[in-house]
Amino acid sequence: MNDLTASLVAKIKDSGLKPTAQRLDILEYLHTTENFQSVEQIYDNLYREYKVFSKATIYATLDAFVLAGLVNRFFGKHGEARIDYIVDDSAYFLCVDCGNINRVKVNCLDADIDKSKVEVQSSLLTYWGICEDCKVKL
């Protein structure tokens, strides 16, 4: 097992999930490819590479990753689900004109949630607007 594989196995275990071979393959794919891919893109690329993943497996695995806090899922310009491997306090700025997506750092995010009564599994903040490049064209 190489260093990357070992660190991904540890990451999956730390999240509370079992590090199955499929989960490891999917997380490794997300770790080593571009961010913000749509779920369809992820499925197409993984299917081309491994042939063994069904669409249901990919969707179920990504759902489990989102709930375990291993990846972020947000919605792109056309409402398509996008996946981001980086999850540390990230929010997203999405341009409604060109569809460009940028990760933004959130400094303080307090929600009025009584954590003694509920269990928060994930949260996500997306800003929608016009990016710098599109704004100068207006």
Nearer to Zn ion, 58 or 131 (CB): 131
CB of 135 to Zn ion, least distance (A): 8
Q: Which is nearer to Zn ion, 48 or 78 (CB)?
A: 78
**Closer of 55 and 135 to Zn ion (Cβ):** 135
What residue ranges bind Zn ion (CB under 5 A)?
95, 97-98, 100, 131, 134
Torsion angle of the four alpha carbons 94, 96, 97, 100, in this order, in degrees rounded to the nearest 10: 20
CB of 127 to Zn ion, least distance (A): 13
Per DSSP, which regions of 85-129 are E strands?
90-95, 101-105, 126-129
Whole-number Å distance between alpha carbons of 80 and 5: 29
Q: How far is the CB of 138 from Zn ion (least distance, A)?
A: 10
Nearest-approach distance from CB 117 to Zn ion, in angstroms? 41
Closer residue to Zn ion, CB minimum distance, 16 or 129: 129
Cα separation, 19 vs 15, in Å, equals: 10
Are 110 and 91 contacting, i.e. CB atoms less than 8 angstroms apart? Answer: no
